[in-house]
Amino acid sequence: MKLPGLALSLAVVGFVVLIPEAAEAARINELSDSTLIDRAARFFTFRDPSLRNALAGSMLLGVCCGLMGAFLVVRKLSLLGDALSHAVLPGVALGFLWNMSKDPLAIFVGATLAGLLGAGTVQLLRATTRHKEDAALGFVLASFFGVGICLFTMIQNLPGGNKSGLDKFMFGQAAALGSSDVILLGVVTALALGAVVVFYKEYAITSFDAGFARSLGMPVQLFHYSLMLLLAFAIVSSLQAVGVVLVSAMLVIPAATAFLLTDRLPRMLVLSAIFGMVSGGAGSFFSFVGRNLPTGPFMVLAAGTVFAAALFFGPRHGIFSRWWRQRSRSARISRENTLKAIYHVLEDQEFAIEQVSARELAERRRETIEEAQHQLGTLRRHQYVTMSNDGDSASLTPEGWRRACEIVRNHRLWELYLTNAAHLAPDHVHEDAEKIEHVLGEETVRMLEKRLNYANRDPHGRLIPGLEDMRFAGARHLGQSRATGFGNAAAH
């Protein structure tokens, strides 16, 4: 499940890179006056080599950051990603100073070193001062960035050198990705992917329970630092496209989105990589359509939108989904309570009648007649009752009768269980049973019946309806044969 997903995402990236060159490449400045729609259409022809680089690079960075970010999120190190991504700035400047040009390799090396120095500083501050994690991270983030800003402004004031494009490292410019940048990203992504696939077991256990991993004799520190190194690689190779300020978002947001949607680490890794890729692609698309606006912010907005969608509409943990489940559960509980009330009304009449009027129901539940009518209407929609012609009284359908019996049985069984097994006074058990009756499963009921020796009367002396009673096709048969209790059924 894991490999096909990753293979798919890589295939998409490969497709973009390897679009046949047959189509004549158009020059990017020919497009200057076209409309947004034209530009969008142009984007999807993938004819521009620079556009292809931008798109492939953005998607690769999404995959790479998504994979690394998943480990950051489950290790609760999200803010380390934030700190490191800012801390690489002085390294970028020094890499540029190496030979006064935007040599990807020099910048890569410089930034990686700065990132590792930042990570080391965080560790050192944590170990030698009383400052907490957040302060150490904040210190590294801000002071390294300050050094970087000083270096950058010094470079801006220098004569000579090809300084253009250096400012793009702040917010990213996917369009400025050269083929060597894309190759670098490809190598880093392959490295990250390879490490995660080969050492999945080790990374998973050291992330989940480092103490246990060490008790197995695993070199936990080694895996931690290798992960940090890969993280630094991911951050640094992504700088050109997404920018220093927002790399951390591409690390954390896709991973957090995936975390909302699944309970399994392999799936989370795949989803995170896919969300990263999609956000990266969307970022470069909008950046292109919007006439080379900075790419990073668009990627982050795309990722943020996906996150918000997962937060609200995620099938299991989504806010909206949970609310909906909650609502349908309370609707079910309210229906079951109405059924129970109907049963009680019938029981009070010793099952001599079949129909229950809204007024009787309302009296029983101490509610207004309108409310009772509304409840009966709900039951009718669920085909638990049929209404009389004047619409005022209802009789249970076989299904409704069965459900009503179940609920009453659950309630009384539980009351009996609490009084017999837990030795509670009979007047203390009603409240609890009111809640439990809606959640008892058939299996538990069988168990309860067995433990209670198939008793047929509850602590208040009322009959507990049994399976035999439920088999009647509905209340209309009750004129002859009243609720017997399953004890009676067994006695036949």
Closer residue to other proteins in complex, CB, 275/472: 275
State the minimum distance, in angstroms, from the CB of residue 377 to other proteins.
34
Closer residue to other proteins in complex, CB, 247/372: 247
State the minimum distance, in angstroms, from the CB of residue 432 to other proteins.
18
Closer residue to other proteins in complex, CB, 130/492: 130
Q: Which residue has the tokens 């050492």?
A: 199
> What is the spatial order of strands in the sheet that 393-396 belongs to?
355-357, 393-396, 385-387
> How far, in Å, CA of 222 to CA of 408, rounded?
61
Closer residue to other proteins in complex, CB, 206/237: 206
Q: Which residue has the tokens 């709900």?
A: 378
Closer residue to other proteins in complex, CB, 272/410: 272
Closer residue to other proteins in complex, CB, 244/416: 244
State the minimum distance, in angstroms, from the CB of residue 149 to other proteins.
4
State the minimum distance, in angstroms, from the CB of residue 5 to other proteins.
15
Closer residue to other proteins in complex, CB, 16/235: 235
Closer residue to other proteins in complex, CB, 71/384: 71
State the minimum distance, in angstroms, from the CB of residue 71 to other proteins.
11
State the minimum distance, in angstroms, from the CB of residue 204 to other proteins.
7
> How far, in Å, CA of 410 to CA of 330, rounded?
18
Count CB neighbours of 111 within 10 A. 30
State the minimum distance, in angstroms, from the CB of residue 121 to other proteins.
9
Q: Are 129 and 115 in contact (CB under 8 A)?
A: no
State the minimum distance, in angstroms, from the CB of residue 308 to other proteins.
8
As a whole number of Å, the end-to-end CA separation of the chain is 56
